[in-house]
Structure 1
Amino acid sequence: MESSHKHNGEEGNRMMKNSIEKEQHELGLMRTFVESQDPTSKEVDDKTLRRFLRARDLNVDKASAMFLKYLKWKRTFIPNGFISESEISNELAQKKMFLQGHDKEGRPIGVAFGAKHFPNKAKGGLDEFKRFVVYVIEKMCSRMPGDQEKFTAIADVQGWGYSNCDIRAYLGALSILQDCYPERLGKLYLVHVPYIFMTAWKIIYPFIDNNTKNKIVFVDNKKLTSTLLETIDESQLPEIYGGKLALVPIEEDS
């Protein structure tokens, strides 16, 4: 019995080693190709390239195309390399995004309130909302410790109604998350989900890739605190969900 356990362990280790070597090999091929297409790729670290590679199941061609498209997008959409708060003032004024604490794996936690979002009728419109999404993701990434590459999000849709429904904005956010920040989302908890929200969800769902679908959890109201406590320590969980932390608006997070 002991020898079969040992054999299984060795087999597992061998497979793990092979898979790491394969990923490393594909990463080398990808780097050579993207650098030949866009010399600015040289400034990008292996970790970033690896996220694009994993998002396309180690398919070098698909991952390279995805990454080169991202570089082009970044140059046009974030010409300064970052989004300043003055560019997203209408979005920040809605006070719908909060950021504090880390889950048990060290992933920073963001909390978004769907009922505080109203379609942006101001001059910035959908583009300003997309800049806001980039600002939020970049802010969460900047709070990742050490080797952590993912964040955890809680989308609270309590009180959400048709006046909050903004399919173009949701699809815009999804596209940015999946196409420009692949493998950044660790887990997305949907909490206090009203029945009416499911009408919007049915429209959005087909656009969510399988990798992302696997990270989405609809939380039962009756098990809200216990479900969140499985991955978030009480000291890091917002007070409104039975934890100990007060919510901090994202722009006030240092």
Structure 2
Amino acid sequence: MTEKEDINIVCSPEETKERNEEEMKIDLMRKIIEKQDSACEVQDIDDSTLRRFLRARDLGVEKACVMFLKYLKWKQTFVPKGFVSASEVGNEIAQNKMFMQGTDKKGQPIAVVFGGRHFMSKGGTDEFKRFLVFSLDRLCSRIPDYGPEKFIIIGDLKGYGYRNSDVRGYLAAISILQDCYPERLGKVLVINAPYIFMTLWKIIYPFIDTNTRNKIVFVDNKSMKATLLEDIDECQIPEIYGGKLQLVPIQDC
């Protein structure tokens, strides 16, 4: 039994129809991409990657192709080696602000980011953007072959202040996440958010697309563990939030 036949058996007729329509649009995307970028080896691009770009543009083939071709150009110029090494983001790693451990109930890997530890480093915004790619690639590498192909982030803003309000950096993060890693974000759980953060939030909010906004949840401190338990089993919650896992620095994963 092929994978396609198996999908048709387990899916409802409506889901099967949607899946078949997506496959037809993915085939069309391949033809358009190959025509517009003859240097692109489109046969090496897997269906799941094209599907994420397609869904990010509400199944609009032309818009998805524009988005994907823009992504390819960005990757060729910003990540010419295909990856970012730890040696290229030493200043960012030294801030000890991003960790990865555990999975949620859907099997999605969990990252914990400490906003109060983020400062403009000596490497500036460019190094911060490289650090984002370095971290997101490591996070994506832990996504299992089954399931929703996404990750979940716990954004801890304890100790956050004006000195952490790196507007340029945060706008760059939003752009990279939305434009280069579409349909990878499952949910962001924002915890320990101080009132001072809302000033920055008002600035960056308009730059976040609707789909991403709907995935951002501000968690009340009084119900933090209960809220985390809605998505994550206790054995997968970090110890600092009442769970049982120790956090592992992103560079050590």
Tell whether the structures are fold-level matches, with TM greater than 0.5.
yes
The match for 1:218 is 218
Render the CA deviation track for 1:173-217: whole Å, top value 9, x for unaligned. Answer: 010000000000001000000000000001111111111111111
Pairwise mapping of residues 161-176 of structure 1 onto structure 2 (< 5 A)? Answer: 161-176=161-176
Per the alignment, in what secondary structure is the counterpart of residue 90 of structure 1? helix
- Cα deviation, residue 43, structure 1: 1.5
Greater shift in the superposed pair: 174-183 or 28-37: 28-37
Per the alignment, in what secondary structure is the counterpart of residue 193 of structure 2? coil
Give the TM-score normalised by the residue count of structure 1: 0.92
CA distance in 2, matches of 1:251, 1:70: 25
The match for 1:101 is 102
The match for 2:248 is 248
CA distance in 1, matches of 2:120, 2:188: 22
Partners of 1:114 and 1:155 within 8 A in 2: yes
Per the alignment, in what secondary structure is the counterpart of residue 31 of structure 1? helix
Matched, 1:41 2:35: no
The match for 2:87 is 86
CA distance in 2, matches of 1:147, 1:72: 29
Matched, 1:157 2:168: no
Gap runs ≥5 in structure 1:
1-11
Per the alignment, in what secondary structure is the counterpart of residue 81 of structure 1? coil
CA distance in 2, matches of 1:134, 1:98: 14
RMSD: 1.1
Partners of 1:116 and 1:164 within 8 A in 2: yes
Greater shift in the superposed pair: 31-40 or 68-77: 31-40
Partners of 1:115 and 1:158 within 8 A in 2: yes
The match for 1:30 is 29
> Structure 1 segments of 4 or more deviating over 4 A?
none
The match for 1:143 is 142
Render the CA deviation track for 1:137-173: whole Å, top value 9, x for unaligned. Answer: 1000111112241000011001100011101000000
The match for 2:15 is 16
Pairwise mapping of residues 52-63 of structure 1 onto structure 2 (< 5 A)? Answer: 52-63=53-64
Per the alignment, in what secondary structure is the counterpart of residue 95 of structure 2? coil
Partners of 1:119 and 1:165 within 8 A in 2: no
- Cα deviation, residue 119, structure 1: 1.5
CA distance in 2, matches of 1:146, 1:69: 26
The match for 1:232 is 232
CA distance in 1, matches of 2:246, 2:15: 41
CA distance in 1, matches of 2:36, 2:12: 36
Per the alignment, in what secondary structure is the counterpart of residue 101 of structure 2? strand
CA distance in 1, matches of 2:69, 2:199: 35
CA distance in 2, matches of 1:78, 1:118: 23
Matched, 1:201 2:179: no
CA distance in 2, matches of 1:179, 1:205: 16
- Cα deviation, residue 23, structure 1: 1.2
Tell me how many residue pairs correspond in the alignment: 240
Give the TM-score normalised by the residue count of structure 2: 0.92
CA distance in 1, matches of 2:208, 2:249: 27
Identical residues among aligned pairs (%):
60
Per the alignment, in what secondary structure is the counterpart of residue 112 of structure 2? strand
Per the alignment, in what secondary structure is the counterpart of residue 100 of structure 1? strand
The match for 1:127 is 126
The match for 1:181 is 181
Per the alignment, in what secondary structure is the counterpart of residue 189 of structure 1? strand
CA distance in 1, matches of 2:80, 2:214: 33
- Cα deviation, residue 32, structure 1: 1.0
The match for 1:8 is none
Partners of 1:35 and 1:42 within 8 A in 2: no
